[in-house]
Copies of this chain bind each other. A is one copy, B any other.
Amino acid sequence: MKQTLKALHNAVAGSSLHQVTNPDSIELEGVQSLQAASAKDVSFVTGKPGLADAKASKAAVILIPAELVAGFEKPALIVPNVELALIAALNLIYPPRKPQGKRGNCVVAGSARIGEGTEIGNFVSIGENAVIGKNCIIGDNVSIGDNVQIGDDARIGPGCVFHADVKVGARFVVFGNSTFGADGFRFTLAGGIHHKTPHIGGLAIGDDVEMGANCTVDRGTFEDTTIGSGTKFDNQVHVGHNCHIGKNVIIAGQSGVAGSTTIGDNTMIGGACAISDHVTLAPGTMVAGGTCIRNTPDGAGVFAGWDGLLFADFQRLRINLKNLVNFQKWTKRVESLEKHAGIEVKK
């Protein structure tokens, strides 16, 4: 959607114009990286290394932080936070699709309630007593079980499955083929057979949560598995039964949280991490990508590596492991010393 620089300036709180006389006359039609931008695009620079590209860019206007603007001779918008300004520009020029209220070829149970303005794709099933909020977009081939509740303004990707009784807050976003509310993995071995514990708990997800494609979050055994408001998951994340994931938590791709684990608010977990069961991560914990956390750490911190070491220890360990390649050489040197000193060592 065509915009003017004036509109963008108005949309970014705290912004000021630089090398621009008539912002109403500058037309903006796209957002691009410095190199790819054409004459009707907004672009952005975040640090000194980008300045040369910024100077060479064809962009109509460049989002720039105040500390880089000295000597910058092109039209720019000085902004307090470049990434937030970029988000504003993207939302202005590429406004997200609005729900159109139409319904595809779908089956909605008589007792289900669908909010005003909600758009439902093709081949969607909505079960008994389900409650869907206003202005949602429900993608194709979504299955919404009995008693499921989904808040206003949700965006549900195609192929997602909501098993019965799952509750989701407002503005929930999820991409294709994610599955919510499967039974937890709890079996008891007796007489050579794994006996299943039925799961009567649910799954309760807060407001403003976003999840990627092909994620799975299980229901609780007796009480609900919970996901706090503002939390964001990447693709292929798995959260087990009885977990309590806090608010504003980040979990990157293919990471998993085993059953009955509690993740404090504002924790950030990188990709390909495995968080064990019955663990507690303190609020504000950071877990580097590829990390295994097997036990509850002592307080918050930055953890890394296959055994969840503190980051500083992990970095030293990496160096020492490289030295370790020569460990046998050192053991031989100790043996020589012992021989030289006449020390006899019991084997």
Contacts and interface: CB of A to CB of B under 8 A. Distances in A.
Contacts of A125: 104, 121-123, 140-141, 158
Nearest to A93: B200
Interface stretch (A20-28, A63-71, A190-198): A190-198
Contacts of A305: 306-307
Interface in A199-237: 200, 208, 210, 212-214, 216, 218, 222-223, 230, 232, 234-236
Interface in A316-342: 316-325, 327-328, 330-331, 333-334, 336-338, 340-341
A7 interface: no
Nearest to A121: B125
Query: So how many copies of this chain end up in the complex?
Result: 3
Given A123-B122, A313-B325, A271 B258 contact: yes
A96 interface: yes
Contact of A175 (B81, B141, B183, B272): B183
A210 B196 contact: yes
Interface stretch (A49-57, A82-90, A110-118): A82-90
Interface in A146-197: 157-159, 161, 163, 175-179, 182-183, 185, 187-188, 190, 192-197
A271 B184 CA distance: 13
A272 B271 contact: no
A87 B341 contact: no
Given A86-B197, A258-B271, A276 B253 contact: no
A190 B88 CA distance: 14
A5 to B, nearest CB: 19
A254 interface: yes
Contacts of A141: 123, 125, 141, 143, 159, 161
B157 A179 contact: yes
Contacts of A163: 157-158, 175-176
B232 A194 contact: yes
Interface in A67-106: 81, 83-84, 86-87, 90-91, 94, 96, 104-105
A258 B266 contact: no
Interface centre among A193, A198, A250, A319 (most CB of B within 10 A): A198
Given A87-B198, A179-B213, A236 B235 contact: no
A281 to B, nearest CB: 16
Interface centre among A81, A159, A317, A323 (most CB of B within 10 A): A159
14 contacts: A33-B222, A84-B195, A96-B198, A104-B107, A123-B123, A139-B161, A185-B252, A193-B248, A194-B230, A276-B290, A290-B306, A320-B325, A321-B324, A336-B343
